Amino acid sequence: MDKIVKTIAEELNITTKQVEATIKLIDEGNTIPFIARYRKEVTGGLSDEILRTLGERLSYLRNLEQRKEEVVKSIEEQGKLTDEILQAIAISKTLAEVEDIYRPYKPKKKTRATVAKAKGLEPLAQIIIEQKETKSIEEIAKDYINIDKLSEEDKKNKDKVVKSVEEAIQGALDIIAEDISDNAKYRKEIKRRCYREGTIETSASKEEEKSNYEMYYNYTEAIKYIPSHRILAINRGEKEDFLKVKIQKPEEKILSYIEKDIIKGETQFTNMLKETILDSFKRLIEPSIEREIRSDLTEKAEEKAIKVFGQNSKQLLLGAPIKGKTVMGFDPAYRTGCKIAVIDETGKVLDYTTVYPTEPQNDVQGAKKELLKLIEKDKIDMIAIGNGTASRESEMFVADMIKEAPREVHYVIVSEAGASVYSASKLATEEYPDINVSIRGAISIARRLQDPLAELVKIDPKAIGVGQYQHDVNQKKLAESLTGVVEDSVNKVGVDVNTATPSLLSYVSGINNTIAKNIVKYRDENGKLKNRKELLKVPKLGKVAFEQCAGFLRILDGDNPLEITAVHPESYEATEKLLASLNFDKNDLKDKEKLAELRNKLKSVSVDQMAKELGIGEMTLNDIMDELAKPGRDPREDMPKPILRKDVLKLEDLKEGMVLSGTVRNVIDFGAFVDIGVKHDGLVHISEMSDKFIKNPSDIVSVGDIVKVKVIKIDKERQKVGLSMKV
């Protein structure tokens, strides 16, 4: 355990004390959001991102230690365990290194070497590898011809028979070849050289065929420099049968390295050993090393892609809500018509319909008449247009229509990724049993504008669609990572326990699907919860779950004003003492004037002195004071608001040098896609993000950011726009 603690501390650049304390909290069953928010003193204020990484590494390193024990036990049972092997296993840092050490001792299927061993040729192999014998190898090999020594029954089994000198020598060399390929030291050095000097080469499977992978039809790049997005693109091209992929290795240097280690001067065995080393490399080492390198590159690329996807998803989930507005959700389409749903400021469905302003019907006048009637009737403030098929045609129609609206209406382009998945889901059927599947997508689009988090948690995070190659990566790891991202986002914002859906509640720390449904059922049967303590009456929500979830659940009009904040019940007593020391009480949080006075008083509090008086940590006190200064504050209010539009921009309107405002829709390894209001999002390449060198685009921008960009390239034929943030 000490070893694991030390490793994690070094990797994350934190103290061993922090690691030990966090591991204890994780092992006690505390969730990451709870530890990050309410156990800052214990962890030294580690962020949720660091805590999640710590949890992942803890799990990996514990598995590694368990595998080491299994391997040691297996080798020991074979009677082959040495101090050298024990030491090598002890210092191994990855599962791959442990498996390389275990390789020679792993029970094998039938191979040329196992057959040769069964024929009794191991001593001959030993003679060859020692290279000391002066007697000719042919003479020595004669002793291993066993055809005359076998029973009639055994003679029928070719796996036991050695008929000739050549067969004996070849069998011995097969044993040597396998031993070389199983040698952990050689494998480690070969991989090291391949990573340092090898290249990845791709060529076309069908040269004449057009595809998205044409840049890789004749492509070479050093393994040590290839970025993760290219690895995933190459993998996909290979999977779709457009590309052939090969790892070019420094073969001569590898062979020379093994020869130097094995061959002892010029003897009768020199040439045969050189040929055996080549055979071992070509037949046994090269294919498996190639698989391992490709697998390793893919794993690292997937980790990066999953991380990028997680960062993008978090930004999308934490998008600023648009409160107090009646919204029309506009789900664009061609043949089947555009689905329309109107929802009020609470998310309640007021109206829905289908209009046909796009191809092939082109009923612009009929659609305009119907929607203008709805705008007036329902007092619509905003129109949320989904960004999928027919989005730009719909945008042009909406921009034109709102010029005739009886009230001021803006429109916003909203990501509709996953809306169709949600529409057909069991959850959507439960929420809107009497509304057609196709209309539910429009409701989801409208609600995403009002409260992105509450709506997006209803969708499988993979379907949110802000990443690259998310369908190509390890789906289990992606799901785990994204679940963590959603949990962190939901708990960062907090949840109104009296209005939240089961899907939103299920992401709250300590609450599973069953408890989430039980909370809603309890609410339905007993009315709104008046205080957090009442949660303990919910079936299956015991003291442990209560401790984990209470601080993240808000009760907006209950008995205790502290419960509109993130102050945990365990800190109520300290909070009330703090308020009393400043001549206030918790009810003053409801009074605007008193609250303004309290804010001023809090600024003059001596944190270290007050923390001692209250018997709590300084970090906890700072968090309590932040909550008291802005009770009920939504952290998403600091996020950039969506761009409200009244008019549409066409590709033909763009000119190089134009400066526009846009919304970052996706951040990838090589840049960011920005919605500037034309049909296709423009690309800001990483080289155009800043005058300084940038290693990672997500250091500069996040999904949802509003950025100023300059048009630097327009490709009308391919409908592509190049942008620069060097404005």
Binning pLDDT at 50, 70 and 90, where does residue 311 land?
confident
Give the orientation angle of helix 95-102 with respect to helix 83-91, to 10 degrees: 160
Binning pLDDT at 50, 70 and 90, where does residue 470 land?
low
β-pairing, 243-248 vs 199-204, is antiparallel
Binning pLDDT at 50, 70 and 90, where does residue 591 land?
confident
Do 454 and 499 meet the contact criterion of CB atoms below 8 Å apart?
no
Q: What is the DSSP letter of 319?
A: P
Q: Say what the pLDDT of residue 649 is.
A: 66
Mean pLDDT of 580-600: 90
Q: How far is residue 651's CA from residue 655's CA, in Å, rounded to a whole number?
A: 9
**Number of other CB atoms surrounding residue 590 within 10 Å:** 12
DSSP letter string, 663-727: EEEEEETTEEEEE-SSSSPEEEEGGGS-SS--S-GGGT--TT-EEEEEEEEEETTTTEEEEES--
Q: Say what the pLDDT of residue 155 is.
A: 64
Q: What is the DSSP letter of 645?
A: B
CA 176, 182, 187, 190 dihedral sign is positive
What value does the mean pLDDT of the chain take? 89
Express as a percent the part of the chain with pLDDT over 70. Answer: 97
Q: Given a cut of 60, is residue 587 above it in pLDDT?
A: yes
Mean pLDDT of 382-406: 88
Q: Given a cut of 80, is residue 569 above it in pLDDT?
A: yes
Do 66 and 98 meet the contact criterion of CB atoms below 8 Å apart?
no
Q: Given a cut of 60, is residue 547 above it in pLDDT?
A: yes
Q: How far is residue 621's CA from residue 613's CA, in Å, rounded to a whole number?
A: 11
- Beta-bridge partners for 666: 673
Q: Given a cut of 90, is residue 108 above it in pLDDT?
A: no
DSSP letter string, 217-248: TEEEEETTT--HHHHHHHHHHHHTTSEEEEEE
Do 510 and 494 meet the contact criterion of CB atoms below 8 Å apart?
no
Q: Given a cut of 60, is residue 467 above it in pLDDT?
A: no
Tokens 């390389």, residue located: 100
Strands, E assignment, 195-333 = 199-204, 218-222, 243-248, 327-331
Mean pLDDT of 642-651: 70
Q: Say what the pLDDT of residue 326 is.
A: 94
Q: Say what the pLDDT of residue 440 is.
A: 92
Q: Say what the pLDDT of residue 463 is.
A: 76
Q: Three-state SS for 410?
A: strand
Q: Which long-range contacts (CB under 8 A, 24 or more apart) does 622-629 make?
A: 623/37, 623/40, 623/566, 623/567, 624/567, 624/571, 624/574, 624/575, 624/578, 625/578, 627/565, 627/566, 627/567, 628/565, 628/567, 628/575, 628/578, 628/579, 628/589, 628/598, 628/602, 629/598, 629/599, 629/602
C-alpha angle with apex 571: 620 to 26, nearest 5 degrees? Answer: 65
Do 247 and 290 meet the contact criterion of CB atoms below 8 Å apart?
yes
Q: What is the DSSP letter of 199?
A: E
pLDDT in tens, 127-171: 999 998 889 989 998 888 877 776 666 666 677 778 888 988 999
Instruction: List strands edge to edge, sheet with 382-386.
Output: 349-355, 338-343, 327-331, 382-386, 410-414
3-state helix, strand, coil in the chain (%, to 5): 55, 10, 35
- Beta-bridge partners for 199: 222, 248
Nearest CA-CA partner of 577 in 631, 625, 626: 625
Q: Say what the pLDDT of residue 378 is.
A: 95
Q: How far is residue 704's CA from residue 675's CA, in Å, rounded to a whole number?
A: 10
Per-residue b or e along 36-63, where b marks 16 or more CB atoms closer than 10 Å to that residue's CB? bbbbbebbeebebbbbbbbbebbeebee
Q: How far is residue 33's CA from residue 87's CA, in Å, rounded to a whole number?
A: 39
Which H/E stretch holds residue 384?
strand 382-386
Instruction: Tell me which amino acid residue 138 is.
Output: E
Instruction: Tell me which amino acid residue 271 is.
Output: N
Nearest CA-CA partner of 370 in 334, 333, 397: 397
pLDDT in tens, 426-443: 888 888 888 988 899 999
Q: Say what the pLDDT of residue 152 is.
A: 66
Q: Given a cut of 80, is residue 650 above it in pLDDT?
A: no
How many Cα atoms within 13 Å fall on the side-chain side of residue 219? 20
Query: What separation in angstroms does the CA of 463 have from each of 446, 485, 613?
Result: 18, 14, 50
Q: Given a cut of 80, is residue 472 above it in pLDDT?
A: no
Q: Say what the pLDDT of residue 648 is.
A: 62
C-alpha angle with apex 678: 672 to 683, nearest 5 degrees? Answer: 20
- pTM strictly above 0.75: yes
Q: How far is residue 338's CA from residue 341's CA, in Å, rounded to a whole number?
A: 10
Q: How far is residue 7's CA from residue 23's CA, in Å, rounded to a whole number?
A: 13
Q: What structural domains and CATH numbers belong to the chain?
A: 2-105 (1.10.10.650), 325-450 (3.30.420.140), 494-559 (1.10.150.310), 567-632 (no CATH), 651-724 (2.40.50.140)
